[in-house]
Amino acid sequence: MKKIEAIIRIERLDIVKGILSENGFLSLTISDVKGRGVQGGIIERYRGTEYVVDLLPKVKIETIVDDKDVEEIITIISENASTGKLGDGKIFILPVDDAIRIRTGERGKNAI
């Protein structure tokens, strides 16, 4: 099993979530996050004064999947979260040793 964490633009969430659902990937956790990467932030103006906003709002999608589904999910997220501009986000893949469904006690793939 793998945990996929994708940090993407807020405005791309509904598109990515919809395509994942259409392809049978329903289990997600969504969090509002702030961060910065290569883009470093943006310069804004307020009443004639410039200031740098270096932590930009993003959204983090987390899901645990079977190893065989990882590449499909990466493709879905990559293709549908991309705008081609700096700040589109990142995808991280982490190993998951085990999962337990609290209600039934099921473990492993049966729990996800």
102-111: per-residue pLDDT in tens? 999 999 999 9
pLDDT tens digits, one per residue of 10-41: 999 999 999 999 999 999 999 999 988 776 66
DSSP secondary structure letters along 43-112:
EEEETTEEEEE-SEEEEEEEEEE-GGGHHHHHHHHHHHH--SSTT-EEEEEEE----B-TTT--BGGGG-
**pTM of the full predicted structure?**
0.84
- The CATH number for 31's domain is 3.30.70.120
Count structural domains, the chain.
1
Domain that holds residue 8: 2-111
